Amino acid sequence: MASPIEIVDLMTAEDRTVPDAVASQRERIAEAIALIEHAFRNGGRLFYVGAGTSGRLGILDASECPPTFGSDPSLVQGIIAGGMAAVFRSQEGAEDSPQGGSEAIDQFAVRAPDVVVGIAASGTTPFVRGALSRARECGASTVMIACTPVAGAVRELLDVLILPIVGPEVVTGSTRLKAGTATKLVLNMLTTGAMIRIGKTYGNLMVDLRASNVKLTDRSERIAMVVCGVTREEARSMLAAADGVLKVAIVMNLLGVGRAAAERALSDAGGSVRLAAGKAPPE
């Protein structure tokens, strides 16, 4: 039996291969980001569809978007085989139903210009395949993330195939390991990349965050201090004048205007602080 340190060394060695597998798909990931950006700019949404670990990873990424980017919860959504109960406890057999995937797409009223990203480490999950097929019929763009080669019949359903081949798992078939890590890296890039493209950041600062707790309120104040070169008290006053909306507070300060004018400037600039203020972000 392996010792604890031998297990750690083995898993660490295997995990080191994951970033290279993801990097091999850089062009495909960029194509998917462009599709998602187009959807967001034209009233569309992003849906992740998966079963088991894949479905849970999609829900995790979707749930992080509102607090990080101030996005509406409907903009990025996760769909998991077996419904929300499957987030906490495996729903055996749910992933084997293509009809279930198709019905889920109808339940969420998927349409153009939405993007549906199917997540299936094996590339064969029937629930995901059914969802992608129905999404395509509804006019949505379709993407798949898989970690093993995908059959031609599935490829025909896709606009973009992202295929980080991570190789055998440390525990055979346990795709929550390297495949799960690769999937999470890709999902990070899809939503972060699309949110950057639609102006949810200013440089590397999350200027559209939703200050829903003490930590995020503090972060809003610190970002205002960095961008505008003000004190903590001045940052608080700025945010109060902007009704707590960080982007508006920043533009008010940089342009020397009131809230209404700052909001108009942001609207005219498509939500981009850089364009609204005509100033590059701090390094």
Q: What angle do CA 120, 125, 126 make, to 5 degrees?
A: 145
Catalytic residue among 6, 31, 37, 64: 64
Q: Which of 78, 76, 72 is nearest to 36 (CA)?
A: 76
DSSP 116: E
Concerning whether 95 is annotated as a catalytic residue, the answer is yes
Contacts (Cβ under 8 Å, ≥6 apart) of 22? 29, 164, 182, 185, 186
**Integer Cα distance of 17 and 249 in angstroms:** 43
Contacts (Cβ under 8 Å, ≥6 apart) of 198? 37, 40, 41, 270, 271
Give me the helix-helix angle, 178-197 and 52-69, nearest 10°. 30
> Residues 178, 169: contact at Cβ < 8 Å?
yes
- The widest CA-to-CA distance across the chain, in whole angstroms, is 68
Q: What angle do CA 25, 159, 16 make, to 5 degrees?
A: 20
Burial class (CB in 10 A: 0-12, 13-18, 19+), 171: exposed
Catalytic residue among 37, 95, 169, 263: 95
Edge to edge, the sheet with strand 115-119 lists: 76-80, 46-50, 115-119, 141-145, 160-162
**Integer Cα distance of 75 and 83 in angstroms:** 19
- Residues noted as catalytic: 64, 95
